[in-house]
Amino acid sequence: MFESVGWGEILIIVVAGLFILGPERLPEAASWVAKSVRKVRDFATGAKTQLREEMGPEFDQLRKPLEDLRGLRNFDPKRVVTQHLFDGDTDPLGLNNVNGTNGANGANGASKPNGHPAPASQPEPLKPGERPPVDPDAT
């Protein structure tokens, strides 16, 4: 219920309550809030149980689309399209281990972590049956 409320916010509420209500009435107010939250939770649980009893198996059929909608909260279109088009392959073109790198700095003249460009060197000739290296920047 209070997933987004952190300890800092709770501390601020307690300090504000201490100033507003005073130390005499703060324990009573905290007790009242706890009882109210408990009552609301009991009402919600009771309503859910009653609904489940009255609807029977149709309750699960109603609950399924709601769970699917809840799953859209973490929807990532790029991940979904990649999974659909490439059957979940995270590297469909095979570019992660090109020339002994994983596509990071240093490949194909890209800057190294210190900011200097990679030195130009003569590539070794290809062996028979070896595939040429792929330039991910040119594709």
Closest Cα partner for 2 from 31, 49, 37? 37
- Return the structure tokens found at 11: 């501390």
Could you give the 3-state DSSP secondary structure of residue 117? strand
Domain that holds residue 37: 7-85
DSSP state of 104: S
Would residue 94 count as lying in a domain? no
Would residue 122 count as lying in a domain? no
Number of folded domains that form the chain: 1
* pLDDT tens digits, one per residue of 7-65: 899 889 888 888 888 888 888 888 998 999 999 999 999 998 888 888 877 777 777 88
Contact 70, 82 (CB under 8 A): no
Would residue 75 count as lying in a domain? yes
Name residues whose C-beta falls within 8 Å of residue 44's C-beta, 6 or more positions apart in sequence: none
Predicted TM-score (pTM) of this structure: 0.37
Identify the residue whose tokens are 């590297």. 91
Would residue 27 count as lying in a domain? yes
